[in-house]
Amino acid sequence: MILVIAEHNNNNLKSFTLNTIEASSQISGDIDVLVAGNNFDNVLKEIASIPKVKKILSFKSEEYENQLPEDLTNLIMSVVDKYDYIIAPATAFGKNLMPRVAALLDVTQISDVIKILGKDQYIRPIYAGNALATIKNNDSKKIITIRPTSFEPSLNTGGNAPIENLSIKSDNKLSIFIKKEESKSDRPELGTARIVVSGGRGLQSAENFKLISELADKLNAAVGASRAAVDAGYVGNDYQVGQTGKVVVPELYIAIGISGAIQHLAGMKESKIIVAINKDEEAPIFNISDYGLKGDLFEILPELISELGKLNIIQK
């Protein structure tokens, strides 16, 4: 039996949960989904309509509004006996939660799985994506995180999964929620956007980085950044793409003023089409780009933005 942990914000199910369910279905068809939070009726409806879900375990509590990983771990441990697999997306949510569960069960966590070979064999990237490891896991309970962009989303219409309400005493109190600061943006979400425009150290300042946002707006794209750009304070760290940032697989990835360090490539090299703009023709980013534009970004970007402004781009 598989238990998938739903990622959601109490209003909507995060789409990566669908990819996680699809990946899980390659292990077994017996999939339950655990969802915990507060006032999340819409999320319950969304999960119930996924045909591959057998049952929903629901836990509603004001104390779970912010889904602190310590509390969620408590909840998972209360039902863990029934399950052979606990699976979550390899997002900040899953990465924060699953090691706690694995530690309490004293089993190995299998992280960032990109391919399911069988019930106990998986492929995952190692060394910043430079090698792929095939793992055979003999633990009786398998704690797995799935790289969502490596799997299609599961169909989410036509299902009718029953809901079982859980009741546990939520007396964990290992941590308390104080506040959340979320960056708000009208742009597509970085992790799921069809087009990503990313800027690096070559932008030189936060002010100049606005050129990246301007270009992104013309293309209805998400904005990304290299770690050097984040460390220099041009943008917040939720924009970071790479080994220690987000992994993105858009249809189009435009890397501007980014050299192409392996840690950056680990987060974007599976993009369908990669375009690089860089003044250094030796920059490694050109080795993996489908289209390379050698030149000064401060000349190229204003021209590109102005030309795109003349087109009537139909946003899908």
| Mask for 227-256, x = binds ligand FAD (CB under 6 A) | xxx----------xxxxxx-----------
**Is 303 a residue that touches ligand FAD (CB under 6 A)?**
no
Binder among 152, 251, 290, 296 for ligand FAD (CB under 6 A): 296
Q: From CA 76, how far away is CA 25, in angstroms rounded?
A: 20
Strands 121-126 and 115-116: antiparallel
Pick the closest to residue 258 from 234, 238, 303, 127 (CA basis): 234
Segment near ligand FAD (CB under 6 A); pick from 27-35, 76-84, 197-205, 207-215: 197-205
Let me know: does 273 contact 251? Beta carbons within 8 Å. yes
Q: From CA 144, how far away is CA 234, in angstroms rounded?
A: 34
167: Cα within 13 Å, side-chain hemisphere: 0
Q: Which is nearer to ligand FAD, 145 or 226 (CB)?
A: 226
**Is 271 a residue that touches ligand FAD (CB under 6 A)?**
no
Q: From CA 34, how far away is CA 52, in angstroms rounded?
A: 14
**Is 298 a residue that touches ligand FAD (CB under 6 A)?**
yes
Q: Which is nearer to ligand FAD, 143 or 256 (CB)?
A: 256
CB of 78 to ligand FAD, least distance (A): 35
CB of 295 to ligand FAD, least distance (A): 7
Binder among 66, 78, 192, 263 for ligand FAD (CB under 6 A): 263
Helices assigned H by DSSP within the chain: 16-25, 41-48, 69-79, 92-105, 206-219, 227-231, 262-265, 285-288, 297-310
Which residues are near ligand FAD by CB under 6 A?
A: 200-202, 226-229, 240-245, 257-259, 261, 263-264, 267, 278-280, 283, 296-298
